[in-house]
Amino acid sequence: MTDAAMMKAVIFRRYGPPQRLSLQEVPVPRPAPGEILVRVRATTVNRTDTATLRAHPFFARAMTGLLRPRMQTLGMDFAGIVDGLGDGVTAFQSGDRVFGLLPERFGAHAEYLCLPADGALAHIPGDLRFDEAVVGEGAWYASSTTGLLSEGQRCLIYGASGAIGTAAVQLAKSRGAEVTAVVGMRHLDLAKRLGADRIINYEDEGFTSIAETFDLVFDAVGKISWFTCRRLLNQNGIFAATDLGPYWSNILLGIWFGITGSRRVRVPYPENAPEFVRYLAELMAEGRFRGVFDSSYPLEDIVEAFRFVETGQKTGIVVINVQ
């Protein structure tokens, strides 16, 4: 009997702060029938990872494990090389460069991972590097809101400098919407580069006093509420947010407006990750979507990366390079 091949993976066995994470040697997983084995070259630390590590909000434990996490390795985004195929896989070959998402199972903070060949993955378009292809998490969350837009509609994206906000501007533009981006001073140029039609600095302009109304106001960083910006909404305008809002107001208002039938406040949850990743690959191949990257860390320094992401100050995406 041969010894199982080993790999490095970032393990956590209890919810809590980043120091609960430790780099350990564990067996390389084996692809089951219909699965592929990916050698991970890049992943990210994002707000889903940090929230899951701390089990925040508390009710998320219903999905991730009540007392202890069901999964032991976080990491939702990956880019890497196909290194093994389970029985019956024909869509990929060993050596293919792929990227994708692991929304339910996580597991990308490791040297290898397995996932179903029909899961949320696609070939990396063109000559994009691995660290340029780990763009899924923020874009997937953004897509659940930008999917509400149609050609010619007007939207305001508040906090257009985070992972979700930078993706939201590009996805809204790709749907033909007119975009007003609200960002801090240091991100004005970034919002312009992403294609925003109008840019407002939240530090020196009261964005709620502009004389315009929108079909959609999207709070991409969980900092405003329907109460502060309802006058920016046109008659059928929707307020959508990535977060629960103060005192869970977004959830409660969402339920209330759902009962009244108007659905004016929403906290959309993204769906159908496999289809979205393939759509994102098309957008990237056409040069209509590019990730915005803040900084990168080696896998060994992942605790530091978690600490930084938890500050809520990153611009776009924080990459982990896995050698």
List contacts with ligand NAP (CB under 6 A).
46-48, 51, 138, 141, 159, 161-165, 184, 186, 202, 220-223, 242-243, 312-315
Residue whose CB is less far from ligand NAP, 162 or 254: 162
SS3 assignment, position 92: coil
What residue is closest to ligand NAP based on CB?
162
Q: Treating both helix axes as pointing N-terminal to C-terminal, what angle do 47-54 and 302-310 enclose, rounded to 10 degrees?
A: 100
How far apart CA 65 and CA 12 sit, in angstroms, is: 13
| Least distance (Å) between residue 275 CB and ligand NAP | 20
CA separation for the pair 190, 135 (Å, rounded): 17
CB of 49 to ligand NAP, least distance (A): 9
* Nearest distance from C-beta of residue 218 to ligand NAP, angstroms: 11
Q: How far is the CB of 78 from ligand NAP (least distance, A)?
A: 17
Q: Which is nearer to ligand NAP, 111 or 225 (CB)?
A: 225
As measured in angstroms, the least distance from the Cβ of 260 to ligand NAP is 26
Tell me the two tokens of residue 241: 């947010």
By beta-carbon proximity to ligand NAP, the closer residue of 10 and 168 is: 168
Q: Environment class of residue 316 by beta-carbon count within 10 Å: exposed (0-12), middle (13-18) or buried (19+)?
A: buried
CA 232 – CA 234 distance, rounded (Å): 7
DSSP characters over 109-141: SBSEEEEETTSSEEEPPTT--GGGS--HHHHHH
Minimum CB separation of residue 58 from ligand NAP in Å reads: 11
Smallest gap from Cβ 52 to ligand NAP, in A, equals 7
The CA distances from residue 111 to 70, 94, 120, 229, 288, in Å, are: 20, 16, 18, 45, 30
Residues β-bridged to residue 162: 316
Distance of alpha carbon 191 from alpha carbon 205, whole angstroms: 16
- By beta-carbon proximity to ligand NAP, the closer residue of 26 and 51 is 51
Cα dihedral value 131, 78, 278, 91, nearest 10: 110
**Per-residue CA distances from 5 to 2, 71, 78, 182 (Å):** 9, 21, 21, 49
Residue with Cβ nearer ligand NAP (125 or 316) = 316
Residue 82 or 267 with smaller CB distance to ligand NAP? 267
User: Which C-beta is closer to ligand NAP: that of 36 or that of 179?
Assistant: 179
